[in-house]
Amino acid sequence: MDTIKVLDKTFRPSISAEKIEQAVAAVANKINRDYAGKEPMFVVILNGAFMFASDLMKHIDLPCTISFVKLSSYSGTSTTGQVRELIGLNADLTNKDVIIIEDIVDTGTTMHGLLPQFKAKGVNSVEICTLLNKQTAREFEDVQPKYIAIEIPNEFIVGYGLDYDQYGRNLKEIYTLNKD
Ligand code: IMP
Ligand code: MG
């Protein structure tokens, strides 16, 4: 793996496809154990989580359903910052054990705004499963993903679904932005 260029920036290899594969399988197995006897409903947050979700789901051996949602790019502000709304969630969430699949939890702003929207739909439980977690960047302490595949430092990354200005999502490894 070599340094790559995405648009105007250079990125260096940081997490290999093998490491991602192992971490995804491990987190899926944890979900399999924790939800034994249940039928979780996975809600995938597009676009970033598409690749993670597809690999994760291959390791889930529970009866389950999967829905895909987007977030509005902007929907006003509140005292706690920008609140983005769920778009395209037609499924009934009443009494469901929901697992949100995210690409990355950074400051926690997105999930802080989203969790109450799930709770308002009458779920039985809701947990976050994220590919990447930037714990040191967290601004909302109430946002704590139960399932984290890989912990990363507070640096900008691309690949495996994550983008820089919409590019780089197709990369099968994860790359870190070079500071230059
Ligand atoms: P938060 O609301 O600050 O937790 O940020 C969550 C969203 O910001 C993620 O779903 C990503 O879309 C985006 N994001 C945060 N960090 C990165 C990164 O390093 N690379 C690409 N996207 C990121
Ligand atoms: Mg995202």
Q: Is the predicted pLDDT of residue 48 greater than 70, yes or no?
A: yes
* pLDDT computed for residue 80 by the predictor: 60
CA of 36 to the centre of ligand 1 (A): 31
Nearest atom, ligand 1, residue 162 CA:
21
Residues with CB under 6 A from ligand 1: 48, 102-110, 156-157, 162
Q: Is the dihedral of CA 121, 70, 136, 161 positive or negative?
A: positive
Nearest atom, ligand 1, residue 143 CA:
4
* pLDDT computed for residue 72 by the predictor: 86
Query: What average pLDDT score do residues 148-163 get?
Result: 97
Nearest to 113 by CA among 81, 88, 72: 81
Could you give the residue ranges of the DSSP H alpha helices within 2-156?
17-34, 50-58, 109-119
Cα 65 to Cα 58, 60, 86, 110, 157: the distances in Å are: 13, 11, 18, 23, 30
What value, to the nearest 5°, has the Cα angle with vertex 161 and ends 106 and 49? 65
Nearest to 44 by CA among 171, 169, 161, 166: 161
* pLDDT computed for residue 83 by the predictor: 81
* Lowest mean pLDDT segment, chosen from 14-18, 36-40, 87-91, 124-128: 87-91
Query: What average pLDDT score do residues 45-68 get?
Result: 98
Q: Is the predicted pLDDT of residue 180 greater than 90, yes or no?
A: no
Q: How many helices (H) and strands (E) does the chain have?
A: 3, 12
* Closest residue CA from atom 8 of ligand 1: 106
* pLDDT computed for residue 69 by the predictor: 96
How many other C-beta atoms lie within 10 A of the C-beta of residue 42?
21
Chain-wide mean pLDDT for the chain? 94
Pocket mutation for ligand 1, best pick of 82, 84, 103, 144 (most atoms within 8 Å of C-beta)? 103
How far apart are the C-alpha atoms of 145 and 38, rounded to whole Å?
Answer: 19
First vs last C-alpha separation in the chain:
20
- Residue 125 banded pLDDT, cuts 50, 70, 90: very high
Pocket mutation for ligand 1, best pick of 84, 106, 130 (most atoms within 8 Å of C-beta)? 106
Q: Is the predicted pLDDT of residue 81 greater than 80, yes or no?
A: no
Q: Is the predicted pLDDT of residue 1 greater than 70, yes or no?
A: no
